Structure 1
């Protein structure tokens, strides 16, 4: 049975000085050290995260003017002029933690805005703004949901656009905060021209590699601005380690690249150093599932569907006969519904079930990485034996042929002429492909782990919760209704686009003119899908009230120029009412 660390446990461990997170206990007297000779600059800005009703994590990194221990002090106040201090203190950082500083500022007041800053020698950081969680009756909660920021792909204009808001309660970042690839690899076509080639030049394997890449990302002015304006609630996805990570390996890790466990340990240590996240316990860099309670309105449960317990992803190639090319749908169905396949792992799944059982807020929100909705496409498309336009054309011809064979007298002359001109395209091989069942297009998502999804659905359904799932990972925006194996709708899913990583437009090679029709075709092919954006970079703004949850997808018109505007023509909104888990499109 998993033993969960209480706040009292955490404070006790931190007080013993064994942790990388320093706990602030309240106002302290001024301190000076005449022998202090090391100063430093705050080149990566400041950040806050993991807010509680009485505490919040404060973060910075100091770049010292020479190696060695460096003393960093902090202040928290209710005003930007720091005349009303509520807590302060100091700590020592060094290269053992990459000169990062993490403070758990405790003893704060619920639902309060605070200002904070750091000092090292004569240098003072920028002022950050943060907020604690509210308690009791809450009218509304507003969250900006983001994922997938690839530095060489373009400017972080999406972060910049979100930083211009002053009404956010938190940013929920669902992973792929950075990417592990070497210079010139994934989505780097414009990197040199934009001055955004990655550091270090090679792929990330060692602790020093990951630290250097985080340092580069956090040098971005737009990301710094957003971090300084609002607390972040984060989980990792795969690229914080390597593409398509699972518990014992990754697609982007080969045996000749060293021990995967060592690579993962280095990656996760760097994550905890550089992100304002509160650890379960000192040295535990693997468990990040946790909950945040926004009074009586929203309970946000952050999950790890990637590193902790995920079984290796299924591959369609294992179910296609190499000789005939036939797809064994029965064998595949048995594998994808195997009750032993896990995404969360038993401990995390039991924690989630128990947490949902005890949760009483109006909305139960699962913050996690990958799509939970059933994204089922015709097998001919999912296995890439047909493109979407090909399938649409051939399925249309087959439908006309079926109507003609049934003696349908409503066929027009034009339809009959079109059928006669294209009848020869319906070869036995094509007909067989058209008759294949619909299957998941993405086995890296919950579609590849169907059993645990049904367990979660059943839990939410039995408790009559208003279930909202948020997701990232795909670089595209989606809105799904979540249906269980009985066909009952048990919740809704809102998925965000990416900050800069390319979406399906990158892989399908579609023009702007072709995009709306393709998006409409995909929505038409997938039963539970109500909205799709396959092209634009942006974020999801979620607003919760007692009556409804509203999703507003906000997009930028470019990531290749620092001058950008909101892509108003492509922005979209949708709602779901409490007690009625359906997606209602608004615009």
Structure 2
């Protein structure tokens, strides 16, 4: 097994001025042409698909990981313990006839035979296609896209965001339907994979698929679990459809972890730092991230900014690695410590980086891609506030500083994108939630899960008690799916997409509701709501149901 300390890297320019790759140091012989070399591979190593990520106006990151046997218990994917040269090619057309960039990089065993190629020198605001080759084996074709030039708005941006894909709870149909939408960009806001061993986190009636291996604690465990998820054809289709921006939440490491504190600090876990380092390393190995995110022991730089021309700036946040531990436990509590100004969910350095970005931004839309519910959600109609301590409600002063920051910076259109809670929500953001008549100062869109929680069910959003207690909340739905947005200069349109079932495969998708955020008009406006189907049994959602659905984990 590879050691967890950072290895020495060789940054190699493989196509003059066009791209760079980041393999570990390998012998010169490993740079032989992969089309003529005899790799000694008996089966196709591209079982985990391909991916693209972190685009700018000149390029993007290309990713793949070689694995002949994805579910191998040692996490090595059935690959020989030696480096393999991998040829990559970028095409101007989806029939792969006109090569515009190519090169050779190395898939090294120290990094799970993963490949990260940072491509530059391409034209802005256009589609490209790419694939890899090792010996006689050729990967699937993926679609990439460059951002508009920094001085250009470009056309309308089709952006989708997703969260929470528990493999055992259902099929990844929503990923397949998302791929069929042909978005320009996909944001994954966390819980890409889950750490539990088989049947630890179950749904009523039993799980429909099963995790391989024990609860993830070692590098081999995390590599195996990532490979099991990556081998899913629906997830592969979504990765191949568009570039992704990824950030983690808790299950990529351990449920409800905070900084260096595990979920259950009362239970001795002397190896938690090693577990964190293993999870971070495996996350990097399996995601299309730039070299700035190479983990260094227990640290990994994941918060970053991606600019989509003048149209949008995406501030991708990390609300796990630097947060203070949850106060009063993880659940819904009336907790005085939640308003302590010394507490932070981002850490001081990331908070300063975000506020500085607000002041520097000239984008039409400033979008925060982050993990946990941002707006206040009080589940008590009385004077006491009963809120989730794992969300921004548990860090109210931190939330207020950031909200005040975008107000002071004159951010034109602040929009917060959220995952985690396994349901669709939409709401207005306030500086002072105790004054419901006060002005809205931003908008929050929350995506449901891809599969976590199983099928879920439809309901009348107007009857949800959270919406009655919190008038700034405007929409709720407990089916699975994703949010598809269209970002234009004059408005952002959000379609809340749902699939009626995931416990059986291949369900169709429909739009449950549509909300619009108009330029310079903070807050969400509903423009479409699909009528409830009287033939279907509808859920009658209570406060207790919502709390249970969000917190009923091992």
- TM-score normalised per structure 1: 0.78
Residue correspondence of structure 1 range 340-419 to structure 2 within 5 A:
340-378=342-380
Which aligned pairs between 1:61-210 and structure 2 lie closer than 5 A? Answer: 61-64=65-68, 67=80, 68-135=82-149, 136-166=152-182, 168-187=183-202, 194=208, 196-200=209-213, 202-210=214-222
Describe how 1:292-311 pairs up with structure 2 within 5 A: 292-307=306-321, 309-311=322-324
Distance 1:519 1:46, change over 3 A: farther
| Separation (CA, whole Å) in 1 of partners of 2:468 and 2:35 | 68
Candidates 456, 459, 481, aligned match of 2:402: 456
Deviation readout 1:545-580 (Å, 9 max, x if unpaired) = 111111110000110222312245xx1111121111
1:418 counterpart residue number: none
Structure 1, unmatched stretches of 5+, are 1-10, 23-27, 321-328, 380-435
Q: Higher Cα Rg: structure 1 or 2?
A: 1
Match of 1:41 among 33, 39, 45: 45
Residue 237 (structure 1) aligned with residue 249 (structure 2): yes
Is the 1:542–1:550 contact (alpha carbons within 8 Å) kept by the matching residues of 2?
A: yes
SS at match of 1:251: coil
Q: Displacement, 1:20?
A: 4.0
SS, match of residue 439 in structure 1? coil
Distance apart, 1:188 and its partner CA: 5.4
**Secondary structure of the residue that 1:469 maps to in structure 2?**
strand
Alignment partners' CA distance in 1, 2:278 and 2:330: 32
- Tell me how large the CA RMSD over aligned residues is: 2.8
Work out the CA distance in 2 between the residues paired with 1:312 and 1:455.
19
Identify the range of structure 1 (283-292 vs 231-240) with the bigger mean alpha-carbon deviation. 283-292
Q: For residue 283 of structure 2, give the secondary structure of its aligned residue in structure 1.
A: helix
Give the deviation of 1:527 after TM superposition: 2.4
Farther off after superposition, 119-128 or 251-260? 251-260
After TM superposition, give the deviation of residue 87 of structure 1 in Å: 1.4
Matched, 1:479 2:423: no
Contact 1:49 1:231 in 2 (8 A): yes
Match of 1:215 in 2: 227
Distance 1:18 1:48 in 2: 14
The correspondence for 1:522, drawn from 463, 466, 476, is: 466
Does the 8 A contact of 1:48 with 1:276 survive in 2?
yes
Residue of 277, 280, 284 corresponding to 2:289:
277
1:536/1:18 Cα in 2 relative to 1: closer, same or farther (>3 Å)?
closer
**Alpha carbons of structure 1 residues 364 and 243: separation in structure 2 relative to 1, 3 Å:** same
Deviation at 1:543, TM superposition (A): 1.4
Which residue, 461, 486, 493 being the options, matches 1:543?
A: 486
Report the equivalent of 1:57: 61
Partner Cα separation in structure 2 for residue 37 and residue 575 of structure 1: 55
Match in the other structure for 2:263: 251
Which structure is higher in helix share? 1
**Shift in CA distance, 580/32, structure 1 to aligned 2, threshold 3 Å:** closer
In 2, are the aligned partners of 1:550 and 1:573 still within 8 Å (CA)? Answer: yes
- Distance (whole Å) between structure 2 residues aligned to residue 365 and residue 468 of structure 1: 5
Alpha-carbon distance between aligned partners in 1 of 2:225 and 2:424, rounded to the nearest angstrom: 27
CA distance in 2, matches of 1:13, 1:37: 26
What secondary structure does 1:177 align onto? coil
Helix, strand or coil: the match of 1:549? strand
- For the 8 Å contact 2:293–2:300, the answer to whether it is kept is no
Q: What residue ranges of structure 2 are gaps of 5+ in the alignment?
A: 1-8, 15-19, 26-30, 69-77, 529-554
What SS does the corresponding residue of 1:453 show, helix, strand or coil?
helix
User: What is the CA distance between 1:295 and its match in structure 2?
Assistant: 1.3
The alignment of Structure 1 onto Structure 2 pairs a total of residues equal to 490
